[in-house]
Structure 1
Amino acid sequence: MEHQSSKHDKSIFEIPLKEAQDITRAWAARGNFIKSYLIDARELKDMVEERGASYVRVYFGWDTEMEKGREQRLIMVPADVYGHDMINTTPSLIEGQEKSNIFDFTMPCPPTCPPPDSPLGE
């Protein structure tokens, strides 16, 4: 897939493809079953655009009710300019759902892996 210009072209956080391949291969070589996470861009955008949010903090979780190999989960919360989590510590109920401002809208690989032609999907 050819690169198309984006607003991230000047990011200081971009890394070379070879480095990304090296570190993802090293992750897989450690026997880790989960290779990557597919993240819903619209949900992430909504969280980032929340009033007062400057960051997204990612927590690693271990869900003992998941099948073996799929216990790892990513939990995300918006954080303010000072790095404080923006969690509703006294969550309200809206339409029967707790509004905690804590999210898990990631999908692990497997099964949501990239196509075989991805340079990182080996």
Structure 2
Amino acid sequence: MEHHASKHDKSIFEIPLTEAERLTKAWAARHNFIKAYLIDAQELKDMIDERGASYVRVYFGWDNEMEKGREQRLIMVPANEYGNDMINEEANRAQDAVENSNIFDFTMPCPPTCSPEGPLNQL
């Protein structure tokens, strides 16, 4: 596996591969169907680059209309420096408002979007 230099090379949040393997194996051992989420990098970057956004909050959702095993959803919203969600409540006053809600669901579950190779793919 080749090393990709990034601005995160000195992050205090980086963990060793052995710990990541231990954690993903423990998750798989719990018989969870969804193993990971693939996140669109450009959509995430656009959310992070929004004026005033300091964080991204991820909410867990449950969608009974999805097939068994795929009901879990991730909902993301930008959050400001105080950790407050930056939801556009004015736009959301209309019933089922989608446009300008500032609430996003652009993740793709694994399976089926799993990395075909790699030490963290515990299928």
TM-score after normalising by structure 2: 0.92
Question: Considering only aligned residues, what root-mean-square deviation do their CA atoms show, in Å?
Answer: 1.5
Q: Give the corresponding residue for 1:114.
A: 115
| Mapping of residues 33-72 of structure 1, within 5 Å | 33-72=33-72
**Secondary structure at the residue paired with 2:69?**
coil
What percentage of residue pairs aligned between the two structures are identical?
A: 76
Q: Give the corresponding residue for 1:76.
A: 76
Q: Give the corresponding residue for 1:105.
A: 106
**Secondary structure at the residue paired with 1:18?**
helix
**Secondary structure at the residue paired with 1:21?**
helix
Render the CA deviation track for 1:49-107: whole Å, top value 9, x for unaligned.
000000000000000110000000000000000000000112178xx952210000000
For 2:107 and 2:53, the matched residues in 1 are separated by 19
Render the CA deviation track for 1:3-35: whole Å, top value 9, x for unaligned.
121100010000000100000110111110000
What is the aligned length? 119
Runs of 4+ with >2 A deviation: none
TM-score after normalising by structure 1: 0.93
